[in-house]
Amino acid sequence: AQTVTQSQPEMSVQEAETVTLSCTYDTSENNYYLFWYKQPPSRQMILVIRQEAYKQQNATENRFSVNFQKAAKSFSLKISDSQLGDTAMYFCAFLIYNTDKLIFGTGTRLQVFP
Amino acid sequence: DAGITQSPRHKVTETGTPVTLRCHQTENHRYMYWYRQDPGHGLRLIHYSYGVKDTDKGEVSDGYSVSRSKTEDFLLTLESATSSQTSVYFCAIKEDRGLEKLFFGSGTQLSVL
Question: In chain A, which residues have their Cβ closer than 8 Å to the Cβ of B107?
Answer: 43-44
In chain A, whose CA is at the least distance from the CA of B1? A44
In Å, how far is B69's CA from the nearest CA of chain A? Answer: 20
Nearest by CB: B40 against A91, A104, A106: A106
Nearest by CB: B42 against A33, A47, A107: A107
3-state secondary structure (DSSP) of residue A99: coil
B18 to A25, A62, B48, B64: CA distances (angstroms): 37, 46, 20, 10
3-state secondary structure (DSSP) of residue A53: coil
Look at residue A1 and tell me whether its pLDDT is greater than 60: yes
CB B70 within 8 A of CB B53: no
Which pLDDT score is estimated for B5?
96
Question: Most B CBs within 10 Å: which of A23, A43, A55, A90, as the mutation test of the B interface?
Answer: A43
pLDDT more than 90, % of chain A: 84
Backbone angles phi, psi at B85, to 5 degrees: -95, 5
Q: What is the pLDDT of residues A49-104, one digit of tens each?
A: 999 999 889 999 999 999 999 999 999 999 999 999 999 999 999 998 888 889 99
CB contact under 8 A, A100 and B102: no
User: Which residues have CB under 8 Å from A85's CB, separation 6+?
Assistant: A40, A112
